[in-house]
């Protein structure tokens, strides 16, 4: 369950782009679309902003590699960090700890909120959590399986699950997900 802020940011951006294309009937892209470099740099965690261009490119190649499973991404990112100067390693470890703390907080918040849902919605949430915890799939496979779960559930359950996201919005970017 070791996903770091930068990994999550890159993977989430790629997943949102992939989801949008998938929903529109287009195949998943292998790489996320490129955007304004200044914007992307602003979105980078400090350890990555302080890294050399070649280190950034190596990091990006790892987290955008559509063939790597989540556990492989984590291992390769950890290996990448160990090869960096001590200042970058320290910043990376601080970011990793902060991200893990935030994930633990969000997971406990989500679990608490899910307990108030219908049994069907709780079962769907448990299936999604199992996918989230499964480190032996690629991020794109996770997105595909989550979309499949949503396609095979009722609108009322989707509404319930989105209501959890909306309640968690102050803790993350779930505000982007309307409940309608």
pLDDT in tens, 114-142: 999 999 999 999 999 999 999 999 999 99
Closest CA to 10 of 87, 51, 68, 62: 62
CA 107 to chain centre: 13
pTM for this entry = 0.71
Regions of the chain with pLDDT less than 70: 1-41, 169-180
CA–CA separation, 76 and 66 (whole Å): 14
pLDDT in tens, 36-51: 666 666 788 889 988 9
Q: Which two tokens stand for residue 87?
A: 């200042």
* The CA-based dihedral angle spanning residues 10, 91, 105, 167, taken in that order and rounded to the nearest 10 degrees: -50
- The contacts of residue 125 (CB under 8 Å, 6+ apart) are 110, 114, 117, 161, 164
Q: What sign does the CA torsion over 105, 170, 45, 79 have?
A: positive
CA–CA separation, 28 and 56 (whole Å): 24
């Amino acid at each position: 369950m070791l996903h770091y802020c930068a990994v999550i940011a890159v993977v989430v951006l790629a997943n949102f782009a992939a989801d949008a294309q998938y929903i529109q009937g287009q195949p998943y892209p292998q790489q996320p679309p490129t955007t304004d470099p200044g914007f992307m740099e602003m979105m980078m965690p400090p350890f990555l902003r302080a890294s050399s261009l070649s280190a950034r490119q190596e990091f990006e190649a790892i987290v955008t590699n559509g063939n790597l499973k989540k556990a492989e991404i984590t291992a390769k990112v950890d290996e990448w960090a160990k090869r960096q100067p001590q200042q970058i390693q320290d910043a990376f470890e601080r970011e990793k700890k902060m991200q893990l703390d935030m994930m633990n907080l969000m997971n406990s918040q989500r679990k608490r909120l899910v307990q108030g849902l219908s049994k069907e919605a709780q079962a769907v949430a448990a299936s999604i959590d199992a996918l989230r915890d499964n480190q032996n799939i690629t991020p794109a496979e996770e997105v595909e399986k989550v979309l499949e779960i949503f396609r095979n559930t009722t609108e009322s359950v989707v509404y319930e699950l989105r209501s959890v996201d909306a309640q968690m919005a102050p803790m993350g970017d779930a505000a982007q997900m309307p409940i309608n």
